[in-house]
Amino acid sequence: MGVLICLDPGHGGTDSGMVGSMFLEKDVCLDLAHRIERELQKFEGIDVTLTRRYDVDLTNNERAGWANQRKADLFVSLHADGMLDRDQSGFSTYVSVIAGSKVRRVQCFLHNQVTRFLRRFGICDLGKRNDTESKGGQIIELRSADMPAITLALSSLPKGQNDELFSDLSFRDQYAKCIACGLASIYECQTKDSLDSF
C-alpha cells in the first residue's frame, strides 16, 4: 500500500506572503510544491496531493482539512519567509509543540537532509523548532492535521539576496529534489528506474 504525502504551498490568493522585488512568496511556494510533486512521482509507492494547485485563498483549517479528508500519511507545509524574524536568514522546520515522537523523527531526518544541501549556498541552520517559536505563536494547520505534520521554512541568504536565490530555477529544482529524496528515504521508497532494472 502506498504513502500519501500532502504538500501545502504556503499563502495564496490575497495572501502574498513575503514580497520580493522579483517574486511573491505564494508563487515560490506553489512552484516548489509542483517541483517536489514531479520529483516524488519518480518513486514507487508515493502518491501526492496538494492543498492548492492554483493561486487561491485557503484558511489554515482548510489546508489541514484537505489532508484529513484524504487520509494523508504526512502533511508538509512549504514557506519561503522563515517563520520567525524576517531579518533572520536560514532554514528551519516546525512541528506542533504537542507533536509525538513519530513526527519529530520525520522532522529530524528531513531537517538534517535539507540543511546539508543548503549549506552549499551559505544558508545557515536556524534549527528544529516547535510552532510556539513561530511568529504567530502557533501554526494552526500543524495542530489541525490528523497525521504527522511539518513546516519547512526557508529564508534564503542575507538580506537583499532573497530575490537572487528564489529566482534561480536551478536552485528551486535542486531544493525540490532534496526534499523529495528526503521524503522518499523516510518511507524507504525506491525510484521506479531502480525497480525496472531488476
Average pLDDT score, the chain: 90
pLDDT(88) > 90: no
Query: What confidence category does residue 196 fall into, taking pLDDT thresholds of 50, 70 and 90?
Result: low
Instruction: Kindly state the cell numbers that stand for 48.
Output: 501526492
Residue 50: Cβ within 10 Å count: 17
Would the pTM of this model clear 0.85, i.e. be above it?
A: yes
Which is more confident, 93 or 163?
A: 93
pLDDT(38) > 70: yes
| Mean of pLDDT values over 71-89 | 81
Q: Are 67 and 143 in contact (CB under 8 A)?
A: no
Beta strands in 20-148 (DSSP E): 46-50, 74-79, 90-95, 125-130
Report the pLDDT value the prediction gives residue 45, as an integer from 0 to 100. 96
pLDDT(21) > 90: no
pLDDT digits (tens, 9 = 90+) for 132-157: 998 888 899 999 999 999 999 997 65
Strand, coil or helix: what is 81?
A: coil
Counted domains in the chain? 1
Phi, psi of 75 (to 5 degrees): -115, 125
Q: What percent of the chain has pLDDT over 70?
A: 89
Q: At what angle do helices 169-186 and 101-118 cross, to 10 degrees?
A: 150
Report the pLDDT value the prediction gives residue 59, as an integer from 0 to 100. 96
pLDDT(174) > 90: yes
pLDDT(127) > 90: yes
Report the pLDDT value the prediction gives residue 134, as an integer from 0 to 100. 87
Identify the CA nearest to 145 among candidates 84, 78, 83, 62: 62
Beta strands in the chain (DSSP E): 3-9, 46-50, 74-79, 90-95, 125-130, 149-155
Report the pLDDT value the prediction gives residue 37, as an integer from 0 to 100. 98
Domain extent, residue 142, equals: 3-196
Report the pLDDT value the prediction gives residue 13, as an integer from 0 to 100. 96
Residue 119 belongs to domain with CATH number? 3.40.630.40
Which is more confident, 135 or 124?
A: 124
